[in-house]
Each structure stands twice: as C-alpha cells, then as structure tokens.
Structure 1
C-alpha cells in the first residue's frame, strides 16, 4: 500500500507539472484517506481516540499550530495541492451546508480509517471509507442545491479525486491479535476481501460522478 501511495504521488506530480497555468486555479480536488491525508476531521469527532490536536503536531506547518494533521508539517494531500497550484481542501466536518468551500474541494480523510468498516474500531470514532463516500454523496447534494443538477454533475465530473488508504486495514486490523479478521481470514482471503470491498466502493464513487482520479 505504501508503494501505491508513492506511485500515486509521483503520477499526480507529473500530471500537475503538465497542466497549463491558466487551468490550475480552477481545479477542484476531493481527497479520501486516512491519517496520511487527514487535515482535521477527527477533531470534530467528540469521542475519537485518533486525534492530532496537541503539540507537536503542526509545528512546521504554516502558523505553527496544531491543525489535526498527523505530522509536524504538511500531509501528502497538502503537497499534492501545492503541486497542482491550489489551496489544500478543508476538512469536511468543519463546513456548514452553506459554505462555498463545497465548490472548491473538500478533504474527507480520517485518521484510523480503512477500506473495511471494522478497521480501527478501537479508536471509537473515525470516518471509514464508507463514511467518507457518504459524506461525498451529501456534498454532491449540497452542490446540486447550490448550482442545479446539470452544473453539479459537470462539477463532480471535472474534479480530481485522490484516494489513499489501506495500510490501516493491516496495521489496525489484520495484524492485531485481538481483531476478528486476522483470525477469520487467511492472508490471501483478506487480500481478496480488501480488493472486492474496494472495487465496490470505487464503483459507488464512480456512480456519484467521479471520473478523474488516481486509485
């Protein structure tokens, strides 16, 4: 999964470098993932044990304050946004339904999230990938209410999607001796479970209008 993430970052960087300067400012990104791309969603979950709202998280980020990022500085999503020449999208849970940020990109990533809903369950609260997809579905509904159905469909079709997760399904699930999946499945069976689940999730995002993305 880490190799996949690095490959995605390299390809996106190449994509960004190839874009005309006049189009980069209008690019919209929607980011799904885990702690490697979270920008603060878990700070809005009252009982989450996966939080990065204390020192020294964020000390090397602009402003030097904690932002909910699980790093001292920028996440891979921040770096990609910089490469694309656009602001890093805000966390979904920080927005009100009237917020214009719905039209300029959103970050749904949540520390502890995985492909499977049971992954990271001992963090009590986090946005699983299914939760994030539901948040994106609600996002499209808000956009449709703002600009109409046809324009909303074009908006999500033209946006770029970054999806980076899967390591938690091992680190915080399969490899933990007290988690059921590690006892119930062989490694090959678990890989098949992840693959089939992810296939269905990506199909759902596609049906919601996502067309440009790296998976």
Structure 2
C-alpha cells in the first residue's frame, strides 16, 4: 500500500501535520508554565502556508501578518529555531508576532491590521526600480479587507504594474467579527476585480 502513496502529497501532509502539532504543543506548553508570552497561532492556515511554499521563488519576498509560525515551518525553519524566536522576543525578529527571517524571504511581520499592505507596495517599487526579478507576497486577513489601505495599494499596484501578490488568509470572522456584517462585498477576491489588471488565478 505504501508503494501507491504519492510521495509529494505525503510530504505536503507531513508539513501540514508538523505545523498543527507544533502549534498545539506550543499552546499547551505556554499554558502550563510561568513564561508570559503572547501566542498568536496559525491553526487552520496550514494548507495556505504549505501551498505558498511550493510556488514561492528563491528571490521572492513576503510581508506577513502576526500569525507566522506556520509559514516559518512550511518554508523550512526548524521547530527548535522557531521556538527560540518565539520565546526570545528581545528584538524585532523574535516573539510570537515578529518571526522574520531573510534567509527564507520573510522580511516583515506586522501587528497592526493591514500594515503590511503599504510595506509590500514599497518593496514592489524597489524591485521594479532596481529591475529585480522577484515577486512580493503580501499576506493579509479578512479583517484588513474592509479598510481603506487595501484599496489604495491595489490601485497603485495595478496602475504601476507591480509584481505583487495580495494573498488573503480568510477565516470569515476576522478576529471576532463576521465579514458579512461589515463588508459590502460577497468575496474578498472581488476587491481585485475592480482594480483593472489585478485578477484571481
């Protein structure tokens, strides 16, 4: 039976399983210790994290939200190194909300809703001006989809034909507010349709 298993699919599942178990154990461990740390899990986003790692190119860069544990593991950071970063939050590359690593393209994490959007835009302009052959990945949640910043950034990205991917990690409730109660659109992907060259693939 093992001979019939698609190895690539098994590796994808293995990565997703590692992320889920790491997050669950981290949550359990921090509850049972005297270590005081904010802990922002990415449970439920495992498939997005792993899928992104499969198509991310070597020179690409990503700007994240504050739920970055899963991305770090999906992109090859060891669980031990990630745990060290989460517990040792004495600089801007550490702490649960600030897991960054230039080695794997994670250049910025942000605790303010939607703050990564204009940062991504700046990186995309830098890539265009310096003729870098890379793509900027901008991750945001559905909570940021109803703010003004995303409309500005998508409009500018379209106008200047910037190489930027706006990727919404949509769980439907932001932190605690159902999207349909505050949004005039049915799908977050609809935002891109009105910005000309932006499209959903």
TM-score by length of 1: 0.39
